[in-house]
Amino acid sequence: MDEFEFIKSIQQKSYVQPSLIKGIGDDAAVFRQSYQDTVMAVDTFVENIHFSRKTMHPFHVGYRVLAANISDMAAMGCDPAYYLISIVIPESWAEDELSEIYRGMKEIATEYKMDLIGGDTVSGNELVISVTIVGFVAKGSSRYRSSAQDNDKVFVTGTLGDSAAGYYLLTNESDGEIGGYDYFVNRHRMPKPRIAFAKWLESLSRISLNDISDGIGNEAAEIAEASKVSIHLDYSKIPYHHDLEYFTQEQQKKWKLFGGEDFELIGTVSEKEWPLVVEAGKQTNTKVTEIGYVKDNVHSNNSVFLYEDSKVTKLDKLGYTHLK
Ligand SMILES: Nc1ncnc2c1ncn2[C@@H]1O[C@H](COP(=O)(O)OP(=O)(O)O)[C@@H](O)[C@H]1O
Ligand SMILES: Cc1ncc(C[n+]2csc(CCOP(=O)(O)OP(=O)(O)O)c2C)c(N)n1
Ligand SMILES: [Mg+2]
Ligand SMILES: [Mg+2]
Ligand SMILES: [Mg+2]
């Protein structure tokens, strides 16, 4: 299959988004929007950095690269609509594996009602997939990392450390029986971004949000820095799946705080609007846990503090970082 046949093979026959005017097949895609804000992000995924043949089937590679981008739309409180894929294809990836990657993307795109409207295809030495995503939100309603304020409650969705546990199980021989093997592996391969939950919060007057790609150590620090506040987290409140207890205390702690790739949301909200966050959790079947609070104090601002037993430690940004 050459480049042009490949593009034909991945092209959608019809589109679901009403604002689309021109999809795949010209020099660029066109959509028309007048009554909402447009939200855009791009994330790039490289073989052996973000995924490997050991950790993912080609289907999961596709599913997960789009999931990671959809999660950024959730963190902005918006609805994902379109995506564009730029792909560098090495000879070592066979045609049927590539179509599996696209099948994985199509699967999650259908779940979230998104259209593939363009991209680029080139050959190269390693598999690299760059996803550009476009979403829409009611005017002025996008959610920022910079919106945290003094005395806000800090909350997180779902459970943390699952994806890192899945990655560990896929890359290490386990000694002894590990409960929840399939659960953890599935959380690593097919994360479910929290769009419905974040959308339900649209009526709140103020909320800060960030999605967990690198670990809450990093993501909480991004909120603290952007909002110029300090964040105080209670380690014992951090929600985790009960089967995480099959692992050592040290592993559990590392994965919950710094594992990343759970694609859950961390946010802060005023005490007054906290009940609405709890209600959003109920309405969208999303576990929501209060894990700490925000303080605006010039001496401690921009930092994250972790309270464990009677100890307080300043959380270093030990989560995943490129270009160390
Ligand atoms: N190479 C780059 N050029 C321009 N902007 C970038 C680049 N890398 C990251 N950014 C921007 O920096 C911000 C933080 O990016 P990042 O930490 O990757 O966010 P996330 O973890 O949500 O993907 C975003 O606004 C992103 O668009
Ligand atoms: C083969 C493999 N090695 C390591 C990891 C772990 N890992 C890779 S990137 C990453 C952090 C998230 O990726 P990044 O590019 O920082 O995404 P962003 O923060 O921009 O959303 C983690 C935890 C993995 N998923 N697969
Ligand atoms: Mg990024
Ligand atoms: Mg993000
Ligand atoms: Mg990152």
What is the 214 CA–ligand 2 centroid distance (Å)? 7
CA 177 – CA 46 distance, rounded (Å): 32
Task: Say whether both 120 and 164 belong to one domain.
Answer: no
- Find the CATH number of the domain harbouring 118: 3.30.1330.10
Tell me: do 31 and 170 sit in the same domain. Answer: no
The answer as to whether 252 is a domain residue is: yes
Which residues, 6+ apart, have CB-to-CB distance to 152 below 8 Å? 208, 268, 269, 270, 271, 293, 294
* pLDDT over threshold 80, residue 207: yes
Q: Please give the distance, rounded to the nearest whole angstrom, from the Cα atom of residue 189 to the centre of ligand 4.
A: 18
Known binding residue 119? Answer is yes
323 occurs within a structural domain: no
Please indicate if the annotation marks 175 as binding a ligand.
Answer: no
Segment 213-240, tens digit of pLDDT: 999 999 999 999 999 999 999 999 999 9
For residues 186 and 133, state if they share a domain.
Answer: no
Residues 6+ apart with CB under 8 A from 242: 180
Same domain, 83 and 154: no
**Shared-domain flag, residues 34 and 162:** no
Count of positions (residues) in the chain: 324
Residues 22, 58 within the same domain: yes
> How far, in whole angstroms, is CA 211 from its chain's centroid?
5
* Same domain, residue pair 134 and 152: no
Which atom of ligand 2 has the smallest separation from the CA of 215? 23
Last residue of a domain, one of 138, 158, 186: 138
pLDDT in tens, 70-104: 999 999 999 999 999 999 999 999 999 999 999 99
Mean pLDDT of 57-70: 98
Q: What is the pLDDT of residue 178?
A: 84
Q: What CATH number has the domain bearing residue 275? A: 3.90.650.10
Average pLDDT over all residues of the chain: 95
Ligand 3 being an ion, which residues bring their Cβ within 5 A of it? 43
What is the number of structural domains in the chain?
Answer: 2
User: Distance from the CA of 310 to the center of ligand 5, in angstroms?
Assistant: 31
Protein residue closest via CA to atom 19 of ligand 2: 213
Residue 41 included in any domain: yes
Is 134 in the same domain as 149?
no
Rounded to two decimals, the ipTM of the complex is 0.92
Is residue 176 over pLDDT 80? no
Closest Cα to atom 25 of ligand 1: 41
Whether 151 has a pLDDT exceeding 80, the answer reads yes
Counting from 1 in the atom list of ligand 1, the atom nearest the Cα of 75 is 22
Which is more confidently placed, 2 or 274? 274
**Please, what is the Cα angle at 264 between 288 and 148, to 5 degrees?**
70
**What is the gyration radius of the CA atoms in the chain, in angstroms?**
20
Residue 173 confidence (pLDDT): 86
What sections of 126-215 are H helices per DSSP? Answer: 162-171, 181-189, 195-200
Are residues 189 and 293 both part of a single domain? yes
Which residue blocks in 54-134 are alpha helix, DSSP H?
58-75, 95-111
Provide mean pLDDT across the span 145-169. 97
Residue numbers of the domain that contains 294:
145-314
Q: Structure pTM?
A: 0.95
